[in-house]
Amino acid sequence: MKVLMLGWEYPPFFTGGLGIHSRGLTEGLVKQGIDVTFIMPSGKGEIEPGTGVKIISAGRKKIIQIPSKLRPYTPSTAFSSASHIQGTGGKSEVYGWDILKDVVDYAEMAATVARDETFDIIHCHDWMTFLAGIKIKKESGKPLVITVHSTEFDRSGMNNMNSTITHIEWLGMYEADRVITVSNYMKARLMEFYKVPDWKMDVIYNAVDEEYVPNEFAKPGKLVLFLGRLVLQKGPDYFLQAARKVLEKEKDVTFVIVGKGDMLPQLISMAINLGISDHVFFAGYQDDIKKYYQAADLYVMPSVSEPFGITALEAMSSGTPVLLSKQSGVSEAVRHRITADFWDVDDMASKIIGVLKYAPVKRLMIRNGLHEVKGFRWEEIAKITIGVYSKVIGSSR
């Protein structure tokens, strides 16, 4: 089976979970003997060698990485924002100033590239690639599968949504032969906001291919971690509100925020105004996120709307207990976690204190989490995805 994969991100050109998924899934497919050609917008530079995936730059109309010996994938920088990947003119190499124009241009360039490729099925990731996928489907007659990782409703927090983007999202789901999404939480939102029928969708969770390394990170006191883009969707302001309530009862706690984003100035001011700035450390963008997971006594993901949340799996695989927003897909996928509504900072603070104070609870969460996360591997996710491909290809003949 030959798959034409369309994606906007592929490490090292990525800003979050979308890029992590793209590489994890494609390499998982290659391990199963699937021939994958991945078309990305540009990629100024070179993809890391050894992925076993044929990657083509649509912008340069050339192969930027030839299939070679497969190498295990190690995720990193999943929390970073596009602002750390800059061209000389200040334009992001992942997302430019005029993303809508770039999406239209990509559709034309990807279709041109696809005419010289042989494939059995098209697989698109998120709205930026949907127009390209639709065009290639109409030209080639091959079936189209799309994966919805997030929507404009989630990214905007239901405020100031871009109607052009929501239309492209709807059009992609309408034209697709099959829609994959990353959680039942996300599936329900697609049914509600885009009227995608239940029969047309498959839920396939994300994964992580990380092994636990014992924590040797020396630190004073207790450490609670937030790791993600500093944007409304991720809920860093609720993290700080919960932190203040924790510190009213537990003084020997440091709250570490790793990541970049538009909310950084607001969050710094918020920490000062809440009177907790001495207990909050803004680490900024970090290449090595593993050490932060390992140093943490608890990882908190207070997302306002999180279709999945790969960082939770990364934390669990590092031997770190997790407190997850009930408004996240990963909270339905794993059992050995604590949950709270993102807005209920009293409940969140109470549960943070519970993990920090009661060592048996922490040890139990670590042991069970490490065991559970072994079931979330990209190779297994690839096998499920191949089943979807086979079903779609069979029904299109």
pLDDT at 31 over 80: yes
The number of angstroms, rounded, from the C-alpha of 8 to the middle of its chain's C-alpha atoms is 13
Convert the pLDDT of each residue in 196-225 to its tens digit.
999 999 999 999 986 666 555 556 689 999
pLDDT band at 344 (very low <50, low <70, confident <90, very high): very high
pLDDT for residue 202: 97
Count H helices and E strands in the chain, helices first.
14, 14
C-alpha separations of 92 from 87, 97, 299 in Å: 6, 8, 29
Q: Which two tokens stand for residue 192?
A: 């509600």
- Identify residue 371 by its one-letter amino acid code: H
Q: How far is CA 300 from CA 81, 161, 234, 240, 244, in A?
A: 19, 27, 11, 11, 14
pLDDT at 219: 62
- Say yes or no to pLDDT of 69 above 50: no
Is the peptide bond prior to 302 cis by the omega test (within 30 degrees of 0)?
Answer: no
State the pLDDT at residue 34. 94
Six token digits for residue 144:
């189209």
Residue 135 to residues 3, 248, 357, Cα–Cα distance (Å): 16, 57, 57
Domains of the chain in sequence order: 2-208+377-396 (3.40.50.2000), 222-373 (3.40.50.2000)
The pLDDT score that the predictor gives to residue 48 is 52
Q: Which residues pair with 5 in a beta bridge?
A: 38, 123
88-94: average pLDDT: 39
Half-sphere exposure of residue 285: CA atoms within 13 angstroms, side-chain side: 13
Structural contact between residues 25 and 385, judged by C-beta atoms closer than 8 angstroms: yes
CB neighbours (10 Å) of residue 69? 8
What is the helix, strand, coil percentage profile of the chain, to 5? 45, 20, 40
Strand partners, 110: none
Q: What is the mean pLDDT of residues 236-248?
A: 98
CA distance 171 to 156: 19
Per DSSP, helices labelled H in the chain are 17-31, 99-114, 130-140, 152-156, 163-175, 184-193, 236-247, 264-273, 290-295, 310-317, 330-333, 345-357, 359-373, 378-396
